[in-house]
Amino acid sequence: MEVVICDDDREVGHVAAAQIAHVVEDRGPSVVLGVATGSSPMSTYAALAELVDAGRLDLSHAQAFALDEYVGLPKGHPQSYHSFIQRHVVGPLHLNPHRVHVPDGTASDLEQACIDYELAMAAAGGVDVQILGVGSNGHIGFNEPSSSLSSRTRLKTLTRRTREDNQRFFPTLDAVPTHCLTQGLGTILDARSVVLVASGEHKADAVAAIVEGPVTARRPGSVLQFHRFATIVVDEAAASKLELADYYRQVSEAKPLVPTSTS
């Protein structure tokens, strides 16, 4: 894993966006992006939008696949991930909405919706660069602790902690959905490269666990240690519990950030 420690969340966004822009340059206009929801990638989307607005990045032919979706929220609900992706990704990055996919959490046959999602990703040729945040319990996507490390897109039950973390977007805890559809850890590992972003002290335990802890279903993001091209971009606060922080800084200083090869 390449760990990049930044001064603040704004820099996190710029470093992550530079990595993603490099992949777009490498793969061409029909690049396939994996997009995440949550607060963490907001600075990345803002930095990507700056590149798009400046005419330095064209994503109009890109495809995108979201990581996950709540079960039971109508697509138009303001807190559905479908809405989030429209609002914070499709609009600002000028993506073609017809080329952007989100798991269908309202499908009458959820199991089939998961199979269809995997098939659509395969038909697109797989994800070139997957953007990730991390939950405070170490989940990625909505792969809660105990997730199979080779899981595929499926129905999951959200932990109380995740529902409490996400309660800030809903009027009450009861209003937070109890289930979701999420790409599996095996699905995420299939992406040609991944860029995980995290900022703030409340992410420090999760970041230390997934970067330096054992690979364990207890901390699902730790499975990224198996990925050949995983970049972890964190601010000082999120890096504060990394035992090898000085070493990561030394590596970053010794070589300017080498673009991730996706070939």
By CB under 6 A, residue 162 contacts ligand GLP: yes
Pairing of strands 154-157, 179-182: antiparallel
- Does the annotation count 11 as an active-site position? no
Q: With binding defined as CB under 6 A, does residue 89 bind ligand GLP?
A: no
Q: How many whole angstroms from its chain centre is CA 47?
A: 15
Q: Which stretch binds ligand GLP (CB under 6 A): 12-20, 101-109, 133-141, 232-240?
A: 133-141
164 belongs to the catalytic site: no
Tokens of 31: 């690049």
Nearest to 136 by CA among 101, 108, 166, 168: 166
Span near ligand GLP by CB under 6 A; candidates 1-9, 30-38, 53-61, 120-128: 30-38
Encoded tokens for 28? 């061409």
CA distance 55 to 99: 20
C-beta of 39 vs 60, nearer to ligand GLP: 39
> Smaller CB distance to ligand GLP: residue 23 or 85?
85
Residue 103 near ligand GLP by CB under 6 A: no
Which of the following is catalytic: 9, 69, 118, 144? 144
- By C-beta, is 136 or 259 nearer to ligand GLP? 136
Among 19, 37, 63, 151, binds ligand GLP (CB under 6 A): 37
210 vs 94: CA distance, rounded Å? 33
Options 14, 139, 190, 227, the catalytic residue: 139
Task: Point out the catalytic residue in the list 9, 11, 68, 104.
Answer: 68
- CB-based contacts of 251, cutoff 8 Å, min separation 6: 2, 3
Query: Which two three-digit tokens encode residue 182?
Result: 């999420």
Given candidates 12, 14, 21, 38, which one binds ligand GLP under the rule CB under 6 A? 38
Residue 68 touching ligand GLP (CB under 6 A): yes
- Give the span between the Cα atoms of 240 and 243, in whole angstroms: 8
Residue 21's closest CA among 193, 190, 183? 193
Which residues are part of the catalytic machinery? 68, 137, 139, 144
Interface residues with ligand GLP (CB under 6 A) are 36-40, 67-68, 133-135, 141-142, 162
